[in-house]
Amino acid sequence: MNARPPLTRGVKRRMAAGFLAVPPAIGIVVFVGFLVLHRLGWLPYTLPDPVDAAAGVGLAVGILAFLVTVAGALPGVLWLAGRGPLPLRKLLLLGAALGNAPLILIIVGATIVNVVAGTPERGRELYGVAGNVARVAIGLGCGMVGAAVFWVIAVWGSELDGGEVSHPAPIGHL
């Protein structure tokens, strides 16, 4: 497969804007999602101030999304961009994987700490199957939302699009 020619300055600017937009977009989605789950009564606890709790969770996930964007999405997207077009489906798959990377690191880290401490059974019953399925779904959703936001800003209608969409970019030239 032939390598892509160097990216133009305009595409690089759009990519930077896309990367910058991902963490706040994910934080906002988590904030709204948390409030929706609270309103539906699907959270396993009551909250005196659900907006404050949602803001805290949204901010924490936004910070985590920034770290994942810098450590995972940036190198992943640049690697993919060097190999050809960036269709939405490729970025959604990358986002799905990266959205669950923090969860996997937390589980592995907690397991190692518990094994070293001599308490390998600690935490096994903490979440259960339903809790872990929910967390994986949240990771998938956050990662895919971030990928979609990035694609709309950085790829849609650009030379990276690869002809997947034949109309101009929604944000114009940066």
pLDDT in tens, 27-53: 999 999 999 999 998 887 788 999 999
Q: What is the tally of structural domains in the chain?
A: 1
Please say if the pLDDT value at position 174 is more than 50. no
What mean pLDDT do residues 69-80 have? 95
pLDDT at 68: 96
Worst-scoring range by mean pLDDT, 66-70, 96-100, 170-174? 170-174
Packed helices 88-116 and 74-81: angle between N→C axes, nearest 10 degrees: 140
Question: Is residue 60 assigned to a domain?
Answer: yes
Give 71-110 as a DSSP string.
Answer: IIIHHHHHHHHTTS---HHHHHHHHHHHHHHHHHHHHHHH
The answer to the question of residue 21 being in a domain is yes
Inform me whether the pLDDT recorded for 108 exceeds 60.
yes
pLDDT at residue 70 above 60?
yes
Q: What number is the average pLDDT over the span 21-32?
A: 97
* Position 32 in a domain: yes
> What amino acid is encoded at 156 in this protein?
W
Length of the chain: 174
Is the model's pTM score more than 0.85?
Answer: no
Give the domain range for residue 74.
9-155
- Is 80 a residue whose pLDDT tops 80? yes
| 96 pLDDT higher than 70 | yes
164 within some domain:
no
**Interval 161-168 mean pLDDT:** 59
In a domain, 132, yes or no: yes
Distance CA 3, CA 169 (A): 24
SS3 letters across 12-57: HHHHHHHHHHHHHHHHHHHHHHHHHHHHHCCCCCCCCCHHHHHHHH
Residues 153 and 18: beta-carbon distance below 8 Å: yes
